[in-house]
Chain A
Amino acid sequence: MSSEWPLWEVFVRGQHGLSHRHVGSLHAADAEAAIRNARDVYTRRNEGVSIWVVEASAIAASSPEEKGPLYEPANDKVYRHPTFYDIPDDVGAM
């Protein structure tokens, strides 16, 4: 039998309150084993306090060809950034 264990994407949340972050992937027979393996492969030095694993085949991703339609509309909306507005210095911190 040569069927491979499925691939899992691993996400780890560090101790400082940031969201889970993708750290890599690994193969495991099921989710439980994937979490156990992720502990050994990706958190040997206190990198995290919480692990998510997701089967790689369950992830839907945007494709590079969509880059234009998806992200370009943001380019001409500079007014979404606070730096667009000139507030006089004597108004104080804002």
Chain B
Amino acid sequence: MYAQMIKSTGKGVKALEDMDPQERAFQERIDAGGKIEPKDWMPEGYRKTLIRQIGQHAHSEIVGQLPEGNWITRAPTLQRKAILLAKVQDEAGHGLYLYCAAETLGVSRDQLTRDLLSGKMKYSSIFNYPTLTWADMGAVGWLVDGAAIMNQVPLQRTSYGPYARAMVRICKEESFHQRQGFDIMMKMAQGTKAQRHMAQDALNRFWYPSLMMFGPSDKDSVHSAQSMAWKIKMNTNDELRQKFVDQTVPQAEHLGLAIPDEALRWNDERGHYDFSEPDWSEFYEVLKGNGPCSAERMAARNKAWDDGAWVREGLLAHAEKKRARKLAAE
């Protein structure tokens, strides 16, 4: 997902009886569907795991602007350009909502930025793939935002108040993202032979990377069990991936495009589609920073940060001068 392979305490879930009164009250509040707010007591593991998770989610929104930003100047019509611009601007907003939520946990914005730029913190594997043709803008909106929605909708009920509220804002904006992507795919799929071919090619390249977004199976992971007990993870990776496949296959059929999976078929007994797993060794390579565009993405973020330094410093100096002038006049 936008947050993949998040480590928690690593110790597994403690039973209520083994908790001290403070931790027990905290867990019971979560079990009862209550919210944890910034000033409330919380276990260190909860705080740290959330900073990692929300931070990684924020970084993904920010880095996620790059593959789509790549096509803004080359959108086929003025309207498509305006739409893509609005969509990418939304993603910047999503990053900002999430950074603010993370900051309520006691980490600074600059620290989060430094950890992204040094490679210490990760962002979603999906944004390390290139966007080669205009049809990729369709595939990204349809599949990548579609997969993100699968994970973000349940997170609106997450236990940490500021995170849940950020998710509510984000979810309101996401369905525009997915629809504009699907709209591009429809246009291409109904277009000339060459356009249909581009649409199919985009689906072929983005299908498995989209399935990877949910992360490898976490049925037996102690980290996931703890995160689920804390309600900062609402579903297992496999659950969400299955849901995504079940939702997307009929949409591909509507487009007249083929999902690039020979093993894909409806399983009447399970009431779900059977499908092939992505190549997880590729996923781990991408996560290690060896994705096709990993170096390019990191270079772009570092350059933006360095190039913007004089603006950040200049505006701060200007604000201080203004404040001093106002004080002197009083």
Q: Residues on A close to B: CB < 8 A? A: 1-5, 7, 23-27, 29-30, 33, 40-41, 44-45, 61, 63-64
Instruction: Indicate if B315 sits at the interface (CB-CB under 8 A).
Output: yes
Nearest CB to that of A33 among chain B residues? B315
Instruction: Indicate if B221 sits at the interface (CB-CB under 8 A).
Output: no
Q: Given A26-B100, A40-B89, A41-B97, list of 16 further CB < 8 A pairs? A: A1-B309, A1-B316, A5-B312, A7-B100, A7-B103, A23-B169, A24-B169, A25-B100, A26-B96, A29-B319, A30-B315, A30-B318, A40-B93, A44-B86, A44-B90, A61-B39
Instruction: Indicate if B239 sits at the interface (CB-CB under 8 A).
Output: no
| Interface residue ranges of B71-118 to A (CB < 8 Å) | 86, 89-90, 93, 96-97, 100, 103, 108-110
Instruction: Indicate if B202 sits at the interface (CB-CB under 8 A).
Output: no
Min CB distance B207 to A, Å, is 31
Nearest CB to that of B316 among chain A residues? A29
Instruction: Indicate if B266 sits at the interface (CB-CB under 8 A).
Output: no
Per-residue CB proximity of B286-330 to A under 8 Å, as 1/0? 000000000000000000000001001101101100110000000
- Does the CB pair B322–A27 fall under 8 Å? no
Nearest CB to that of A3 among chain B residues? B316
The residues of B that contact A24 with a CB separation of less than 8 Å are: 96-97, 100, 165-166, 169
Q: A44-B90, A61-B39, A64-B37 are in contact. Are A30 and B322 (CB under 8 A)?
A: yes
Instruction: Indicate if B40 sits at the interface (CB-CB under 8 A).
Output: yes
- Does the CB pair A5–B315 fall under 8 Å? yes
Min CB distance A65 to B, Å, is 9
Interface residues on B, range: 20 to 34
Looking at chain B's contact residues, the main secondary structure is helix
> Which of A3, A4, A30, A44 contacts B93 (CB under 8 A)?
A44
Instruction: Indicate if B41 sits at the interface (CB-CB under 8 A).
Output: yes
Nearest CB to that of A30 among chain B residues? B319
Instruction: Please report the C-alpha to C-alpha distance between residue A18 and residue B109 in the assembled complex, in whole angstroms.
Output: 32
The residues of A that contact B89 with a CB separation of less than 8 Å are: 40, 44
Most chain-B Cβ atoms within 10 A of its Cβ — which of A5, A29, A30? A29
Instruction: Please report the C-alpha to C-alpha distance between residue A5 and residue B40 in the assembled complex, in whole angstroms.
Output: 26
> Which of A5, A63, A64 contacts B316 (CB under 8 A)?
A5
Q: A24-B100, A29-B315 are in contact. Are A2 and B110 (CB under 8 A)?
A: yes
Most chain-A Cβ atoms within 10 A of its Cβ — which of B41, B90, B169? B169
- Does the CB pair A29–B318 fall under 8 Å? yes
Instruction: Please report the C-alpha to C-alpha distance between residue A44 and residue B85 in the assembled complex, in whole angstroms.
Output: 12
Instruction: Please report the C-alpha to C-alpha distance between residue A64 and residue B165 in the assembled complex, in whole angstroms.
Output: 19
Q: A7-B103, A30-B322, A61-B39 are in contact. Are A41 and B96 (CB under 8 A)?
A: yes
Min CB distance B111 to A, Å, is 9
Instruction: Please report the C-alpha to C-alpha distance between residue A26 and residue B41 in the assembled complex, in whole angstroms.
Output: 24
Instruction: Please report the C-alpha to C-alpha distance between residue A35 and residue B165 in the assembled complex, in whole angstroms.
Output: 21
The residues of B that contact A61 with a CB separation of less than 8 Å are: 39
The residues of A that contact B312 with a CB separation of less than 8 Å are: 5, 29
The residues of A that contact B316 with a CB separation of less than 8 Å are: 1, 3, 5, 29
> Which of B39, B166, B309, B318 contacts A64 (CB under 8 A)?
B39
- Does the CB pair A63–B39 fall under 8 Å? yes
Min CB distance A42 to B, Å, is 8
The residues of A that contact B86 with a CB separation of less than 8 Å are: 44
- Does the CB pair B39–A4 fall under 8 Å? no
Instruction: Please report the C-alpha to C-alpha distance between residue A7 and residue B195 in the assembled complex, in whole angstroms.
Output: 47
Closest 8 CB pairs of A and B: A30-B319, A29-B315, A29-B319, A25-B100, A29-B316, A4-B110, A64-B40, A1-B313
Min CB distance B159 to A, Å, is 15
Nearest CB to that of A61 among chain B residues? B39
Instruction: Please report the C-alpha to C-alpha distance between residue A27 and residue B312 in the assembled complex, in whole angstroms.
Output: 11
Min CB distance B97 to A, Å, is 6
